[in-house]
Each structure stands twice: as C-alpha cells, then as structure tokens.
C-alpha cells in the first residue's frame, strides 16, 4: 500500500518524465510547489518506489523514470480527468464542418487530425461493411472492354470494382443492366448480395439483354465482396519525433510492423468498448514493447462499430490522448449517424 506522499511523488515523477523525457531527480521534484519536501526525503521515497517496482533507474548516477508497473498504476489510479481545450476542440471538429459524403473519407480525415493533434501515430479500424445495404448501383464504362461497377451503401460506404465487358455489348445494354440491378437489389445487405444477385436478376437480365450470361458472369465475379478489415493510418512518421525512437533498429522494427498488413487485433482488442489502455508488454507484438496503445470505439450505424487507436511511447501524454479519443469517438459516431440518415433520406426521395 502506497502512502499519500509516495502517491504524490509517483504522480509528479510520471508527469515530469512525460513532459521532459529526462530522468527525474529528487532535487528536481523538491523545487515543485506541490512537493514541499526536502531532496533527501524525496530521494528516500523514490528509492522505496524503485524497490516496489514503480520506478526504475536507467543509469547508476541518473534520476529515475517510471517503470511499466508505475505507468499502469498512474493510468489506473492517479490520472487526473482533463477537459478538452478550446483549441483542441476547434481543430478536432474542423473535419466535421467540411462536406463529406463517404464514410471512408470521414474516417481517413479523423485519423489524420488525431495524429496531427497528438504527434503520435493514429489508426482507425473501419466498421464492418457487410451489413450495409445497397443504396445504388452505377456502372461507368472506361473503354470498349472495361467498366467500373460502383456500389453505394446506405451508410455512405462506396465499393468500386473493375470488370470486363464482353465484346458486342453496348452502352444501352449497360444502362438496362443498371436499371435492373437498382430495381431488384436496392436495400440488399452486402453480405447477401451474391445470393440475391442470382435469385433476383439473372433471369431478368437474360430476358432483356442478348447474351447477358457472359456479362452477368463477369459482373458477378467483380462484386464478390469479402469482409475486409480496413485500417486507416495517420502520422506513421510521428514516432520518429519521440526520443525513445532515436534508435534506428527500434524505428525499423516499428515501421515493419505498420507495413506488414497484420490483422487489426494486433492494435485493437475484440469486444472492448469505451477507452482502453495497453502499456508496453501488454501489447501482443514484441515490436510494441516500448509503446503504449490507447483505443476507443465509435458507432457506425445500427449494431455496427469501429475502433480508434493512438500509438505512442510509454511516456505518452495519457490524460490528453484519452480526452481527445473520448471526444473524437463521440463526434465521429454522431457524424456517421447523420451521414447514414442523410443517405437514407436521399434514397427515399429517389424512390
């Protein structure tokens, strides 16, 4: 059980190290108005905190730095609640003032603004789109033999797929196909699209378009939509600004991790709602043992969620990052809800 004085010294040590990135000495702390103790008293308490595993001494003659255990205790018990500053609030919400019509665009902008505000690396996991329903089909011919199928969903998600147009098919044939697809498949969830494509359109297409089977087959292959984890990164290079990552090998290991296409659960945890903090060895990858990861979830429509992560050094500014993530997750949820409502209203007007 830590005494009140030890709790105060631990908190001040972590706060000072987060700000300076330099080991903290007893004389340094004794100059703070919050710690009206002699350097000798503070030095003894710091030695006890080191013995208990909350502080570490990187070098024999240096001051002390928080250990992983010390950071964990600080985050769980000593972290004071922070309010979003006016400046952060204005910058955070600036992306929502722009006219955004696609879910992906909004998520990508969110990743960028978070990395800019924190100077850390941000990762956003896009929502599972398989439950999104088709709002509209379009087919745009690129040349005589190639076209792009565009599927817009009710949540503002857009899928673009290239497919081959067999020889002999005209723009009139393509237009007929688009009309039939929109007539028969609007409102179909993406996860059921393949099944409904066969059930609702194959026979009708063959009835109205000559040799439609070949065109249908090419189109069907193109829109085979498998569930894909969409990760959006912001500020990958920001870790180079942190003193802890001046080591070339550390940076190389970190960048390799970012580029490996690892599953999202490397950075996130399944079924963890709200704010969650992982410190050092609590992360799954050895390459992240010098990092802390703070995650939050956001709503992306009915029964659909995505996740946000900020990756920084263990010395990251936990209070500010948690405040930013909490605000961003709420604002992003609200904005995606508006986007979904707007898309649904537009669909009703079209019909």
pLDDT for the residue numbered 264: 63
Of residues 50, 61, 38, the one with CA closest to residue 13: 50
Measure the CA–CA gap between 207 and 15, rounded to whole angstroms: 73
For 132-222, CATH gives: 3.30.390.60
Classify 86-128+230-350 by CATH class: alpha beta
Q: Do the domains spanning 86-128+230-350 and 132-222 agree at the CATH topology level? A: no
b/e per residue 188-219 (b: at least 16 CB within 10 A): bebbebeeebeebbeebbeeebeebeebbebb
pLDDT of residue 72: 97
Q: Which residue is it, tokens 């972290």?
A: 79
Digitized pLDDT (tens) for each residue of the chain, 351 residues in all: 899 999 999 999 999 999 999 999 999 999 999 999 999 999 999 999 999 999 999 876 679 999 999 999 999 999 988 999 999 999 998 888 877 657 778 888 999 999 999 999 999 887 766 667 888 999 998 888 899 999 988 777 788 889 998 888 888 999 999 999 999 999 888 888 888 988 989 899 988 888 888 888 888 888 876 656 678 889 988 888 888 777 777 778 777 777 776 666 677 766 667 899 999 999 888 878 889 999 998 887 666 788 899 999 999 999 999 999 999 999 999 888 877 666 555 555 554
Cβ-contact 153, 225 below 8 angstroms: no
Q: Please, are residues 310 and 67 in contact by the beta-carbon 8 Å criterion?
A: no
What is the C-alpha separation between 166 and 292, in angstroms, rounded? 53
Q: Which pLDDT score is estimated for 73?
A: 97
Provide the pLDDT for residue 317.
Answer: 95
Taking the domains of the chain in order of start, what are their residue ranges?
Answer: 4-78, 86-128+230-350, 132-222
Q: Of 181, 183, 129, 138, nearest to 156 (Cα)? A: 129
Query: In this predicted structure, what is the pLDDT of residue 145?
Result: 87
The C-alpha torsion from 42 through 44 and 47 to 53, rounded to 10°, is: -70
Cβ-based neighbours of 10, under 8 Å, separated by 6 or more:
2, 49, 54, 55, 66, 70, 73, 74, 78
The pLDDT, as a whole number, for residue 182 is 93
Q: What distances in angstroms separate CA 241 from CA 120, 124, 188, 248, 258, one per listed residue?
A: 9, 21, 47, 12, 17
The answer to whether 307 and 125 are in contact (CB under 8 A) is yes
Please give the pLDDT value at position 247: 77
Decide which of 3.30.200.20, 1.10.10.10, 3.40.50.1860, 1.10.3720.10 is the CATH code for 4-78: 1.10.10.10
């Amino acid at each position: 059980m830590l005494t009140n004085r030890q709790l105060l010294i631990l908190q001040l040590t972590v706060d000072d190290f987060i700000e300076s990135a330099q080991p903290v000495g007893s004389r340094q702390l004794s100059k703070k108005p919050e710690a009206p103790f002699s350097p000798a008293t503070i030095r003894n308490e710091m030695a006890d905190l080191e013995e208990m595993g909350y502080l570490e001494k990187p070098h024999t003659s240096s001051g002390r730095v928080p250990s992983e255990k010390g950071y964990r205790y600080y985050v769980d018990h000593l972290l004071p609640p922070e309010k979003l500053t006016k400046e952060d609030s204005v910058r955070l919400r600036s992306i929502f003032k722009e006219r955004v019509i696609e879910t992906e665009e909004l998520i990508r902008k969110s990743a960028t603004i978070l990395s800019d505000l924190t100077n850390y690396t941000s990762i956003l996991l896009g929502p599972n789109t398989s439950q999104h329903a088709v709002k509209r089909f379009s087919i745009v011919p690129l040349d005589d033999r190639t076209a792009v199928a565009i599927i817009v969903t009710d949540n503002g998600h857009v899928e673009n797929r290239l497919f081959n147009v067999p020889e002999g098919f005209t723009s009139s044939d393509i237009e007929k196909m688009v009309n039939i697809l929109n007539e028969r498949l609007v409102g179909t969830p993406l996860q059921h699209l393949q099944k409904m494509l066969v059930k609702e359109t194959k026979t009708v297409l063959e009835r109205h378009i000559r040799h439609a089977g070949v065109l249908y087959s090419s189109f069907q292959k193109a829109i085979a939509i498998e569930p894909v984890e969409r990760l959006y990164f912001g500020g990958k290079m920001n870790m180079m600004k942190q003193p802890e990552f001046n080591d070339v090998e550390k940076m190389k290991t970190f960048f390799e991790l970012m580029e490996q296409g690892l599953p999202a659960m490397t950075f996130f945890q399944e079924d963890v709602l709200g704010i969650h903090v992982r410190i050092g060895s609590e992360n799954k990858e050895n390459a992240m043992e010098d990092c802390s990861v703070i995650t939050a979830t956001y709503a992306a429509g009915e029964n659909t969620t995505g996740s946000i992560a900020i990756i920084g050094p263990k010395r990251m500014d936990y209070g500010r990052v948690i405040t930013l993530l909490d605000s961003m997750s709420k604002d992003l949820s609200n904005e995606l809800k508006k986007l979904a409502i707007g898309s649904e209203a537009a669909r009703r007007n079209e019909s």
